[in-house]
A and B are shown apart, each in its own frame.
Chain A
Amino acid sequence: MKKLTAYLTIVLFFGAGVVSVQAQADKYKDIIKPDGIKNSKYLVSVSGIADMDLFKPMNANFGMAFSGSIRVLYKPKLNKGKSAYSPRVIEREIFIKPTFGYIYRKRYNTALFFIPELAYRHTFYSGVFVELNFDAGYMYTKYNAPVYERQSDSTFKKISYGNHNLMLGGKIVAGYDFSKKLEVPIAINFGTGIFYRFPNNQQWIKHVYAEFGLSYVFRKIKE
């Protein structure tokens, strides 16, 4: 009798479990339509840059970058939430980010750059995101003092001068997208990156930098 009772208990327990799992799956399928989480999203960002010389004494040179983010690929992922009415949507996106910026170095140069960044952003359901960027662009280093050049008649003439550079690099960024849960169209981010400029005496020059940014998020649910 005891054996029978135990057998029935096991069958009921697991049987009920199977039934309940199936019921939950059906429930989500009914409520969350994949179309419902589709949206269009653009970002306009402004970032502060600290280009750092990691050498004693450590030196930082500051600049700013302005970028727009155009989403070219969106792969949302649905995770189960505690309630059927609060699904956990993880956003997986690829952006192209045309970025303009500058880094100012006193008595040295102002580096003006344009980079069409390629970024992969992974936004968790809470709004926290991580982003990986790959950069390739153009940099013009304008000298930060009057530039003179000796002319053929040996007189000196003030000229406008700078150097053209190729720029390659990448950065990793983390942040919080307030637009995801709180419906405030702002996102903040901070991160670090590395870029190389070429040429300086036919060599690549390395830069390590930190970045703090603020974005305005244009998010519109697609009908």
Chain B
Amino acid sequence: MRFNVSIISVFLVAIAIFTSCSKDPKLSKDQLDNYYFVKVKDVALPVRVCGNINSDIAVIYIHGGPGGSAQGERANVYWSEIEKYYKVIYYDQRGSGTTQGNTKPSEMSIEQFSEDLDNIVDFTKQVAKASKIYIHGASWGGGLAAYYLLDTSHQNKLHGAIIESPAYDIKNGALLSIQWLLHKADSIIALGKDINYWKNCKAFYAANPQLNYQDFKQHQSYLIQVGGIVNNAINLQVRGTSIPKAEIDVAFKNAIFAPSTLTYEGQSIFTHLDLTSQLNKIKLPVMLVWGAKDGLLPKDNLAQKFASNIGTPPSKFKYDAAKYILSAHLPHFEEWQAFDMDAKTFIEANK
């Protein structure tokens, strides 16, 4: 019997040691890295609060996709610079990334996502103890940020918004993106490279002149090949960071679930989202950033249209059309040094 007890003891200790092994980056004394969930209806959004523990300024990062995640975002060195000075809130949207729960397809609307974001803003004030809040939305996150800002009561909770390549007009943006890609395909064909492949690409768009969420996967595949999403890859820098031990199948399924179900005014965002006519409701300080080489939401037309329609006074609206000439869709990755400088300047000027 003693022999049996020994076997069991060794076995239990081995398992206890095995399960306790995990790594997390070391924090300096003035840094924090806390993890929470914010429950809204039947989901609990994962929220990571990182950065300078003494700062009363927080930047809420709104990830792209739709269906993406903010959990790996912290690896981008851009955030290590921002975290030195401010708190940064990384959260995953409903039905996206590592978010658990059981949201219904009927709740997958930009209206509900905006309500979720409002919960995160209030949470940041009350639990993360930051009185001055900025939001930073990139791509789809930029579109969600723009929608959130259409409500004056939401604007009153913020000190400013950093909006990067925003998907505020997917309806027309998708058509511009197709035109951008067809132009690239013609250029490649003219050079005599992979002629059949790019002719097939053109045939794909002839057959699918209006992209739905299913076509977007193929569209993104073409864009990646011609640097339409990341152009300045040589400047990408990442650092080690831990991420939640989420179920990989949840992340995979959410990446399909969110784009396939997300609606604006009851219809698919891919064919109906266009906030252009409402942008004049936005009055708070905004920093707009757009990569010159963006093929997913081409800068030509979309950036100028955003700048022309926004209601923010020129003194509070920061946009330099001549900057970020090396970047495609993600300037805070591709030209993070310049983005870091601009973001800090914007935050300090409006705090």
Binding site for B on A (CB under 8 A): 46, 48, 53-55, 59, 61-64, 104-109, 141, 143, 145-150, 154-156, 159, 161, 163, 184-186, 199-203, 205-207, 214, 216
Contacts and interface: CB of A to CB of B under 8 A. Distances in A.
A15 B8 CA distance: 57
26 contacts: A46-B12, A48-B14, A54-B248, A62-B15, A63-B19, A64-B15, A105-B245, A107-B242, A108-B244, A108-B245, A108-B246, A141-B100, A146-B37, A147-B36, A147-B44, A148-B39, A150-B40, A156-B122, A186-B7, A200-B102, A201-B253, A201-B254, A203-B253, A207-B247, A214-B8, A216-B8
Interface string B10-26: 01101100110010000
A55 B243 CA distance: 15
B127 interface: yes
Nearest to B41: A149
Contacts of A106: 22, 244-245
Interface string B300-341: 000000000000000000000000000000000000000000
Contacts of A159: 39
For the complex of A and B, list the 8 residue pairs with the smallest distance between their C-beta atoms, beginning with the closest. Answer: A53-B248, A107-B244, A105-B245, A62-B19, A145-B35, A149-B39, A147-B37, A48-B15
Interface of B: 3-4, 7-8, 11-12, 14-15, 18-19, 22, 35-40, 44, 46, 95, 98, 100-105, 119, 122-123, 126-127, 242, 244-250, 253-254, 257
Contacts of B22: 106
Given A62-B19, A106-B245, A150-B123, 6 more contacts: A62-B15, A104-B19, A148-B127, A199-B102, A200-B250, A202-B105
Contact of A148 (B36, B246, B249): B36
Contacts of A156: 38, 122-123, 126-127
A108 B247 CA distance: 9
A163 B39 contact: no
A125 B122 CA distance: 67
A195 to B, nearest CB: 11
Contacts of A53: 247-248
B37 A105 contact: no
A202 B104 contact: yes
Contacts of A149: 38-40
Max count, chain A CB within 10 A of own CB: residue among B14, B36, B95, B254: B36
B7 A203 contact: no
Contacts of A216: 4, 8
B18 A48 contact: yes
B257 A105 contact: no
Contacts of A186: 4, 7
A145 B38 CA distance: 10
B102 A206 contact: no
B59 to A, nearest CB: 20
Contact of B126 (A107, A155, A161): A155
A207 B253 CA distance: 13
A46 B16 CA distance: 13
A222 to B, nearest CB: 23
A35 B275 CA distance: 82
A163 B8 CA distance: 32
A102 B206 CA distance: 52
B36 A48 contact: no
A105 B247 contact: yes
A27 to B, nearest CB: 38
A194 to B, nearest CB: 11
Contacts of A109: 100
A55 B275 CA distance: 38
A61 B245 contact: yes
Max count, chain A CB within 10 A of own CB: residue among B37, B40, B102: B37
Nearest to A185: B4
A53 B252 CA distance: 11
Nearest to A55: B248
Contacts of A46: 8, 11-12
Contacts of A199: 102
A214 B10 CA distance: 11
